[in-house]
Chains A and B, each alone.
Chain A
Amino acid sequence: MFDRLIRLFVWSAAVCAGVAAPAHAEGRLDSLQHVEEVVVTGRLVRREIIPVQELAGEELHRLGAHNVADALRYFSGVQIKDYGGVGGLKTVNIRSMGTNHVGVFYDGIELGNAQNGTVDLGRFSLDNMEAVTLYNGQKSAVFQPAKDFGSSGSIYLQTRTPHFDEGETHHLRATFRTGSFGVVNPALLWEQRLSERVSGSFSGEYLRSSGRYRFTYRMQEGYDTTAVRRNGDLDAVRVEGGLFGRVEQGYWRAKAYFYHSNRGYPGAVVRNKFSHEDRQWDTNFFTQGSFKKDFRPWYSLLVQGKYAYDYLHYLSDPSLDESTMYTDNRYRQQEIYLTAANRFVPFPWWELSLSADWQYNRLDADLRDFVYPRRQTMLAAAATALRFDRVELQASLLGTWVHDLTRGEVMSDKRKLTPAVFLTWRPFGEEEGFNLRAFYKRIFRMPTLNDLYYTFIGNVHLEPEFTTQYDVGATYARTFRHTWLRRLELQADVYYNEVENKIVATPTSNFFRWTMVNLGQVEIRGLDVAVQTDWLVGRDLTLAARLNYTYQRAQDFTDPSSEFYGGQIPYIPWHSGSAALNAVWRRWELSYSFLYTGERYSSSANIPYNYQLPWYTSDLSLARSWRLGRGGLKTTLEVNNLLDQQYEVVACYPMPGINFKFIVQYEF
């Protein structure tokens, strides 16, 4: 939506504050990822046809967020499930359609998890992140791989791209974070110009945390108990390297990513069992490459490829916790992905795109009677964009073909065709900054390999789970020259979503035996509002305020005979919102952020027993920067959950109270 301006603003603010930023504003905007979308013109506000929210640059790093999941809490229409602590699982749900419907893209290519279809966003560091962008529906570009059309909502994680000014050959950024939960987190970013057209970057990070924190349960007229959260420890290392090259009218890039972690499972806090002993080891590796070139003014090509390997080892050892069953399982996933996208521009106002993707997934596990599933997915998309003075239209059609192979029973081949249409209208012309927009999208998610083939639980007769989205919204953006208020942006969307054939676990003959079925039916009616303002007071004080509000009625319409038919689905609050305020004065920077999640229920039976209290946290951070030699030094102190509120996002998973973080960063 407004990211370009935000970044400009943020950047200029940073310059005011004397931070030695690595590149000038135009350079940072000119990241390779955004070359296509951000056509540099005199216009400041990006006209987006699709509802989009973005946190980028300094703004992203001011939020006191530990990871990508923490940052996403500041977007409207998003619910994060957080099991607590630095190492606890964090998943995101866009507009209540379910975690499996969210596509997460890392530097332009989707992070897959064919096994269970969800990505733990708590694992992705913000250290080298340049922007986190959330699109409802799909990214507002027609020139993209077929897969980018394939989710109900998408999150794009864009890491930093090197850019060098005249005479610069390298950049270095060294960061050290420490604080509560025994966090030790050194990180290093190195960017090197290799030749006129090629540059490289290296980013490495180590994170260690004891995961310990105090929590309290205080019942009205009842017990009041305080304990320390255990087994939430984390030991993780991330290493990432990339090469970035420019060619005539295009670019190429290649990157490799490695992550390894060893973590405890904190588990549910229940009576007489406040801690657990099970552990998990993960190794994730991927390497990916892209090439894009405008061969003719009317023809462009984008080619991308990826190989990914994910290893998970889970251990529950009764010699450590005698109440548990011995479990020692290893899962190995591999993915190969190739895509080619072609763009044709017959007229300046008409763009056409054709793309085709091929993907191969395999899952191996040392489970008994495991069927070793392999999946081939072919995707083809045709998309078009029409741009007129006051009206823009985008339409896309995605074809998906999925073929599985196993050593046992197998799902029948699936072939689906799904459309999306996006429309925007500027009734008063461009200068007024007022846009109306609407979209319709129908898409599905495939049953995951666990849904289909997990020993005992899997059900090969599953059908894909469909979502249908209808959205109508408006945006308004104005910039002002001579007032304190320099910029005002508003966006509001109302929407209606349906989830059909929802894949849910259902019990069979007994508690030991569940299976997956296409049973659920959910309807979601919602409103997302976002307001952003930038202020300049005098010459030195800049202020930014960001407000988000979400209303959602997400009802379970699965079983008409049920007493709880139409109940709000678990953990979706009716009201939620956030506020982020930031003030920069000379070399000082003060940020305050507030998150609110209203009352909700832990079950679609909306009865008092399942009631969950609202929670709200305040985070405060203060930073000061200094010039030091060629570069700059910045120190930050963060106080999170300032009021020490004791709360749970998920029942029986207590969250941390007040906690602190101290950051030192040196950059040149």
Chain B
Amino acid sequence: MRTAIWRGRLAGGMILLLLAGGCRKEIPMIRSEADYVTMPTSPERIEGFFLVNEGNMGSNKCTIDHFDARTGGYCRNIYPERNPGVVKELGDVGNDIGIHGDRLYVVVNCSNLVEVMDVHTAEHIGSLSIPNCRYIVFDGDRAYVSSYAGPVQIDPEARPGKVVEIDLDRLAITREVVVGYQPEEMVITGGRLYVANSGGYRYPNYDRTVSVVDLATFEVVNTIDVAINLHRMELDRFGRIYVSSRGDYYGTGSDIYVIDSKSEQVIGRLGIAASEMCLDDDRLYTISTEWSYTTQSNEISYAVYDTAEERILSRSFITDGTDERITLPYGLAVNPETKEIYVCDATNYVTPGYLYCFTPEGRFKWRVRTGDIPAHIAFSEEPFY
């Protein structure tokens, strides 16, 4: 008899526990957060910008933030609440952002896709799967995306990259061309696409070339030998291409090389180490971060080069000492209208970073918290609702 009672109590207790267990909440919706960081302005052209936070690999924490120049408001992580139906939000490791027409494009590297959104609302329009995609450039109704994932060769370590052409109207891949190893940034001029090959997977046999792709035939028509481990690219109004070499992080340092796009020859180097590069009018802004084992810290410099006068204007474009506060500069942009300079600080990579805004003279204006690893900025001429 007693045992029966006990068994009853035990069963009752278990049912209670089961009921308690059944009430677990759904995963909460991730809301955007707004901060007012500066005074409202009335811009003529640049309405604001979008910023991509890369997020760490495997964390699915790529996010986009938006800054509205009219309100001075900075809105963090706008994507999930505007696209609640998109499974696993924006994705894993953002690597590039671009605006073309009235669409916003984000290249999400480890999610192997290019996300296409409405530039006014950041609402999902479509996406294109491209394995290991890196950067995006636009030309008319086409976009070109660099990808590490070219055809697999007999020697798996010698796998070239490719550039993929996208028809923006149909959101479909039209053509592909095999380029060098682990291609990174691209520029387009004179009907040709120039892509910087890093060979980053092939240490110590880095690639050292820029592949030249004719856009009509979509074939590699030239390969320019430059320097090891190429990464960033900018094109000035004189048809000169600035391409950064990351060096090998040991003996060979970083530098910026200049290619004349008409002769397709290397015509010089700037003697500026650069991990980030941004061209605005005739000014090439650069940031260099190099790890020093002696001091156990990063040594950082902020240089500006004048592409018309062909000389270094400054070795430190931050003039008020605010650079002391920046732990790890990871992204760089200059507002084409206001000439304000934006520097992203990735801090320790595992907590949210910061975006710093400086006046054109390099004085601190405002700072705002971003997502994890803020890195890439695209200025928008369209209003955002």
Contacts and interface: CB of A to CB of B under 8 A. Distances in A.
Pairing of A with B: yes
Interface of A: 217-223, 225, 267-273, 317-319, 322-326, 328, 368-369, 456, 459, 461, 506-513, 515, 517, 537-538, 540-541, 543, 559, 562-564, 567, 570, 581, 583, 585, 590, 592, 594, 602-605, 607-609, 611, 613-618, 620, 642-643, 645, 647, 651-652
B22 A368 contact: no
A509 B92 contact: no
Interface residues of B, number: 78
17 contacts: A223-B86, A223-B87, A271-B92, A271-B113, A318-B152, A322-B152, A323-B131, A369-B204, A507-B328, A507-B348, A509-B246, A509-B291, A538-B3, A559-B348, A581-B13, A613-B24, A651-B59
B24 A616 contact: yes
Contacts of A328: 156
B24 A645 contact: yes
B110 A541 contact: no
B2 to A, nearest CB: 6
Contacts of A570: 350
B351 interface: yes
A609 B30 contact: yes
Nearest to A274: B88
A653 B31 CA distance: 22
Contacts of A218: 26-27
Contacts of A271: 60, 86-92, 108, 111, 113
Contacts of B58: 267-268, 270, 652
A221 B298 contact: no
**Closest 6 CB pairs between A and B?**
A222-B84, A508-B291, A271-B91, A270-B92, A271-B88, A323-B131
Nearest to A513: B249
Contacts of B346: 507
B290 interface: yes
Contacts of B85: 222-223
B54 interface: yes
A509 B111 contact: no
Given A328-B156, A537-B2, A605-B352, 20 more contacts: A223-B86, A271-B89, A271-B92, A272-B127, A506-B349, A509-B298, A511-B54, A517-B296, A537-B3, A562-B351, A564-B351, A585-B3, A594-B17, A613-B25, A613-B28, A615-B24, A618-B17, A642-B21, A651-B60, A652-B60
Give the interface SS of chain A, mostly helix, strand, loop or mixed: loop
Contact of A273 (B7, B92, B204, B373): B92
Contacts of A368: 203-204
A508 B6 contact: no
B80 interface: yes
Which residue among A271, A543, A603, A651 has the maximum number of chain B CB atoms within 10 Å of its CB? A271
Nearest to A620: B14
A517 B60 CA distance: 26
A508 B291 CA distance: 5
B132 A323 contact: yes
Contact of A322 (B24, B86, B131): B131
Contacts of A617: 21
Contacts of B347: 562
Contact of A270 (B88, B156, B293, B373): B88
Contacts of B200: 512
Nearest to B115: A271
A320 to B, nearest CB: 10
Contacts of A225: 87
A318 B156 contact: yes
B29 A220 contact: yes
A125 B290 CA distance: 47
A270 B28 contact: no
Interface string B127-170: 10101100000000000000011001000110100000000000
A579 B385 CA distance: 51
A482 to B, nearest CB: 15
A456 B291 CA distance: 12
